[in-house]
Structures are given as C-alpha cells and as structure tokens.
Amino acid sequence: MATGACGINCDVCKLNHLKICTTCGDGLSNEGGIKAEIQINLFGRACPILECARLNHIRYCMGDCDAFPCENFKNGPYPYGPGFLAMQERRRKELRENPLEDTLTFTVSPGYWEKVKEKDLKTLCEHALVLPYQGRGFQIRFLNEDILVDTEEKTLFRITPEKLIKIEAPVKELLILIYLINASTIPFSRKMVGIEQLKNAHFFQGPHAIRKDHILDRFGNDLKGFMEAGNRIDGKPINMADVAFMFFPLPKVPVYYLLWQGDNEFPPRISILFDHSIENYFPADAIWGLVHVVSRALLEKEPPRNDHSSS
C-alpha cells in the first residue's frame, strides 16, 4: 500500500495514477529513501516529516510516534490542517490522562449465557474450578473479586458480605463466559510464553498490539507502587525481573507481569507473559481483552463507578 509516513494514501491520488508524483512510502521503506534523495536534489532538503520518520525508524507518524502531532506537522503548510491536528492532540491528551478508559462498550450475546447454562453443573465446577452459588449460577474468582455468574438473570454480581453488586463490564462478562464455555481438564502448564510464541501472534499488531506504555508510565520508576498494586489485586510475587507477579484473572488462566525499573542508562521495560495453555481457553481477541482488564485493575485506585447495587 502506497501510504506515506505522514499518513497520506497515495493509492487514491490521481497524481500518483498519472505518474506525475510518486509515493514517499513509510519511514522504513525503500520508497522513502528514494523520495528523500529526489527531494534533496530538487529542493535542497527532504520533507521534514519523512526525514524525521526515517531518522527515528518510524513507519507511520500517526500510529507509531508518541510525539504526533509534532512541530513538523504544525509548521505545515501540509499535509493536515490545524483543526485536524488540534483534534488529534486533544484526544491523545485525553488518552494519556485516562489510559484505560473503557471504550469497549457492547452487549454480550445471550447465546454465550445459554451455552454456559447448558453445561453440566458438576462437570463445569470441576473443570473451571468454580463453585455453585445458591441455585442461581456460579461463584468464580476474578483477580481479587468473588463474582456471581447469575445464569438466570444473565448478569454478573460482585459478592460482598453485605450485598450483591451488579457489574456492568462487558469485557469482563465476555471473558468469564468464554472461560466457562471452554473449561476442560487441561491444567495450566507453568510454561511461560510471550505474544510472539502464540499460534495467533500475527493478531497482536497495529490496533491489537498489547499496550504496555500506560503501565510503564505509572510504574516504570516506582517499584513500590507496582508491588502495592500487584498485591491489591491478589497477585502472587515471583522471583523474576525487579518486581514480577503471577495474576489469576481466572482460576486456570495465569498472566505474568515482569517489570524492570529504569535508570540513567536504560529505560524501564515490562514483559507480559502467558501460560502455554491459554489458547485452549481463549482466542486471540479475548487474550487482548484479558490483558486490558488486568492492566486496568493495576491502575485503578477505586472501584469502578458503573456498578449498581442488587440485593
């Protein structure tokens, strides 16, 4: 695809079709190098956007560069107007301030609930490591919460000593239902694997890349804070990295967070690993959602505001 580092798609441009103008290509492409050389010969320098992308090994500024929109775009006169750049800057600022704002709003299909309800109660409890709950569903542990999966009302409730609290969290709801549907005798293997070792590793690219920046921004230089957050959601400390935890968002699905603190020489880094068995329980998009929920729990300081009480 003939898309430049700046984001313009030359495939839809008539000048490109007529061979009057060629694509700049992305910042890592051969086309980018050729176009930069042509620009230098004609104008004395390359386009500052293309030049910057090539220098910093960035394919597409809008998708790969945290500094977008930078002065190279704002000083124009092209490719984007001030209104578009202001919108990008505003929304990216909101994302940084609320890095895990849950925009994943959807309604879980009743079919998932029906599949769970059709399961044999005794077998499901044994395979999924859950407990029956007063004739109205199952009790399951999700990180630091005991949750009622109410198969009659098709609703999740947080179990507290005083009352049941309705949970409106579609990602969590879908994850729990998929886990229950796929529950089997397969135990977790205690063999850690990274994203690149999963069968569907190709899924975790572009918009589906596993986000780590918000965790690093908060805890990269705050090991104590990471330890407190990990303990708060019932993480099990493991002897790896500078600080590491094994979390259990679901009883047979551990997720590992390994954090190395930054210093004057090296930036902080984090690895998010999975048990080798995870793909027996979840497809790739559900694994993405699982990490989203665990990371959000690490960063939360108070209970979600969209919970509703139910007796």
Contacts of 170 (CB under 8 A, 6+ apart): 104, 105, 106, 107, 108
Across the range 61-85, mean pLDDT stands at 79
Residue 188 has pLDDT above 80, yes or no: no
Its sign, for the CA torsion 305, 167, 254, 246, is positive
In tens, the pLDDT along 34-59 reads 878 877 877 778 888 888 888 888 88
Q: How far apart are CA 147 and CA 166, in angstroms?
A: 10
How would you list the strands of the sheet with 192-193, edge to edge?
A: 192-193, 269-275, 253-260, 243-250, 236-237
The dihedrals phi and psi of 212, each to the nearest 5 degrees, come to -125, -15
Q: Domain 192-282+290-299 class?
A: alpha beta
Residue 311 has pLDDT above 60, yes or no: no
% of the chain residues with pLDDT over 70: 89
Instruction: Name which of 21-30, 72-81, 159-168 the model is least confident about.
Output: 72-81
Q: How far apart are CA 257 and CA 241, in angstroms?
A: 9
- The residue ranges of every structural domain in the chain are 10-96, 110-184+304-310, 192-282+290-299
The pLDDT confidence band at residue 225, using thresholds 50, 70 and 90, is very high
Across the range 77-104, mean pLDDT stands at 62
The bridge status of strand 192-193 relative to strand 164-167 is unpaired
Q: Which H, E and C letters describe 72-123, residue by residue? A: HHHCCCCCCCHHHHHHHHHHHHHHHHCCCCCCCCCCCCHHHHHHHHCCCHHH
Closest Cα partner for 175 from 304, 285, 297, 100?
285
> At which residue do the structure tokens 């984007």 appear?
80
In tens, the pLDDT along 131-155 reads 999 888 999 999 999 999 999 999 9
Residue 95 has pLDDT above 50, yes or no: no
Q: How far apart are CA 62 and CA 16, in angstroms?
A: 22
Residue 274 has pLDDT above 80, yes or no: yes
pLDDT of residue 305: 43
Query: Which one of 7-16, 180-189, 268-277 scores highest in mean pLDDT?
Result: 268-277
pLDDT of residue 1: 54
Closest Cα partner for 229 from 250, 215, 241, 211?
215
Task: Report if pTM > 0.85.
Answer: no
Residue 104 has pLDDT above 80, yes or no: no
The bridge status of strand 155-159 relative to strand 164-167 is antiparallel
CB atoms < 10 A from the CB of 92, how many? 15
The dihedrals phi and psi of 22, each to the nearest 5 degrees, come to -110, 160
